[in-house]
Amino acid sequence: LQKLLVECFPDYPTENIFFNKSPQFRLLAKSGNQLVGQIGVEFRVINNDGQIARTFCISDVCVLESFRSKQIASQMLLRIEELGRKNNVAFLILTTSRKSLYYKLGYRGKSNTFKWFMIQNNRSLGIANRSLGSDTIMVKSISNQKWGKGEIDLLGPIF
């Protein structure tokens, strides 16, 4: 897992298999015995503009370079979506610097003000409260619940 993460993300820590906080579970993609992709997921109840919302917070979507453009990431994301739907999850949330993969799957950028608990180098830093611009946080709604226009309190660290 470490090897996959470091290969896919050049800045990935070499001593941990997570950046700031370990995900609750991971979806792994394998080709035979070889690990070729992974996605980290945290189930989190957030405060969505005053409404409680059950969410899956998605992190570290990655696929080994030689296995890319075969829809492996898309299929993993769809599996997580299916799991979310079965478990009454309202929204899938992730941060990204490139939107194309997620946009094709129905995720949309959100420019709300977000509040989250900042962690860096295994230390608590305090509460952040700002908009990250609609290019950074993407959300897919998988229920009838509406995404609010006001503040989104992530009730924990960002992912």
Ligand X SMILES: CC(C)(COP(=O)(O)OP(=O)(O)OC[C@H]1O[C@@H](n2cnc3c(N)ncnc32)[C@H](O)[C@@H]1OP(=O)(O)O)[C@@H](O)C(=O)NCCC(=O)NCCS
Which residues of this protein are in contact with ligand X, per CB under 6 A? 8-9, 61-63, 68-74, 96, 98, 100-101
**Contact call for residues 138 and 102 (beta carbons, < 8 A):** yes
Contact call for residues 53 and 45 (beta carbons, < 8 A): yes
SS3 of the chain: helix, strand, coil, percent, to 5: 20, 45, 35
Which CB sits closer to ligand X, 146 or 159?
159
CB-nearer residue toward ligand X: 7 or 52: 7
Nearest-approach distance from CB 127 to ligand X, in angstroms: 24
CB of 35 to ligand X, least distance (A): 13
Minimum CB distance to ligand X, residue 39 (Å): 8
Determine the Cα–Cα distance for residues 54 and 38; give it in Å rounded to an integer: 22
Q: How many CB atoms lie within 10 A of CB 67?
A: 14
Smallest distance, Å, CB 107 to ligand X? 10
Nearer to ligand X, 13 or 148 (CB): 13
What tokens appear for 106 in the block?
Answer: 């129905």
Nearer to ligand X, 73 or 90 (CB): 73
Exposure b/e, 86-114, CB count within 10 A at least 16 = b: eeebbbbbbebeeeeebeeeebebbebeb
Kindly state the smallest distance separating residue 97's Cβ from ligand X, in Å: 7
Which residue lies nearer to ligand X by CB, 82 or 146? 82
